Structure 1
């Protein structure tokens, strides 16, 4: 074989190799675009699955953990909270941060049972209900809590079920030392500007529960209940014991 033929053969071989490499890049790009397309199409479903997993994986808090979490510095500015999105849920999942739980809330009539976190952050609001004032205390004055409205879990997650609340419904709070029983007397859709609903009420012991009234967050849905009873965990109403699973827990 002459030099010319050898050179032509090498050139053809190099072209085939370049073509093979090019085909690999095209294939990889096609796979990447397909994955991105699937994520975009099913992003809401994936987001809801991750959110549901995060909420259900929250471990029961203990009395000693509550005492430590009360010392944690926290943010109480509701305006800093981002709407639930694929990005916020993914970031919270990857962060693997600990929620500063200081108690639990249960509203048996609408199936709510969540951790109460100190302050409001994207993570706190994604897995439970956050406190809105640094000085609030269970059973004294106004105890405001906020959590998200979401379509995850068929509308049964976080504070979404509050939109089905009725006057007379029981709201239970616990710090694992006492159980505070409130009775709902008012619930209404309000404008986001109604920030006075978070203010303390020194002459009235109430709980204020706040969530969005729609996915766009254009309105707020607020529920208020009056304190009816305060008991030790041991003497709590059976409904509260069942809601918090108190009889089978180690504190």
Structure 2
């Protein structure tokens, strides 16, 4: 084999590597919004399956009583892929305070202590230090990203009289929505204490662009039941948890099939191109 043939083969080899890298990068960039959402969805379900299911009421109570101080930044924006990849696995088990459930809009994920970047990626976060479920104004912030079904995106679909449930695994606290409004991010009146047990949820009013508006949902306490009780409120929470497990399994199958299809597409493209060059 002469030197010219070796050079040609080396060029083809390097070109194929470069083409493969470009195809992979292009595919990754094209799918990055879905990749972000898939990572968040998988992480939430992983936390629910591996942490929440194995966290006792005693551990949550300990976390509540020993919650670390934090600072709240009202200007936190929608995370990019780099932010997600560098923070998604940094959840501190000591920040776990419970679960929020709104069955009408398919919200079911952890409540975490403090509005840190890593906590906002996988759950609803407390805003004031020392908040207690079923007492005063229980305030939670959350992200609104491109997929309106993730994190606090579904809040835009919440209507008055919708039931909001939070639990610390000792009790389930059920609130009924009494007010929904849009406010400026500088409006701190939503953080004020209340004389009756209230829950306040808020998130950005739009996703994908910078905004100074927030959607605010406010509910009032209508029931407090033991986590182990047998009534309509506890049963409603349990039904949603069962549906979440089923949906998680279906989602894993979908993403596995999609990944296999993408790999097959890339391999087919490279094989087709190689044959074309030979001909």
Return the structure number with greater helix share.
Answer: 2
Alignment partner, residue 141 of structure 1:
136
Unmatched segments (≥5 aa) in structure 1:
1-8
Structure-2-length-normalised TM-score: 0.73
CA offsets 1:100-127 (integer angstroms, 9 cap, x no match): 2111111222222221111112222121
**Alignment partner of 1:172: what SS?**
strand
Structure-1-length-normalised TM-score: 0.80
The number of equivalent residue pairs is: 233
Note if contact 1:81-1:121 (Cα within 8 Å) is conserved in structure 2: no
Alignment partner, residue 205 of structure 2:
213
| Alignment pair present for 1:225 and 2:219 | yes
* Structure (1 or 2) with the larger CA radius of gyration: 1
Question: Please, which of 161, 166, 190 is the counterpart of residue 168 of structure 1?
Answer: 161
Note if contact 1:74-1:120 (Cα within 8 Å) is conserved in structure 2: no
Give the 3 Å change call, closer, same or farther, for CA 236–84 of structure 1 in structure 2.
farther
| Alignment pair present for 1:192 and 2:181 | no
**Alignment partner of 2:151: what SS?**
coil
Note if contact 1:150-1:160 (Cα within 8 Å) is conserved in structure 2: yes
Give distance in 2, aligned partners of 1:66 and 1:85.
30
Note if contact 2:134-2:221 (Cα within 8 Å) is conserved in structure 1: yes
Give distance in 2, aligned partners of 1:16 and 1:67.
72
Give the 3 Å change call, closer, same or farther, for CA 236–136 of structure 1 in structure 2.
farther
Note if contact 2:144-2:153 (Cα within 8 Å) is conserved in structure 1: yes
Instruction: Quote the offset at 1:171 in angstroms.
Output: 1.3
Give distance in 2, aligned partners of 1:190 and 1:244.
33
**Alignment partner of 1:229: what SS?**
strand
Instruction: Quote the offset at 1:172 in angstroms.
Output: 1.4
CA offsets 1:79-117 (integer angstroms, 9 cap, x no match): 473413222222234x35445211111122222222111
Alignment partner, residue 6 of structure 1:
none
Instruction: Quote the offset at 1:156 in angstroms.
Output: 2.0
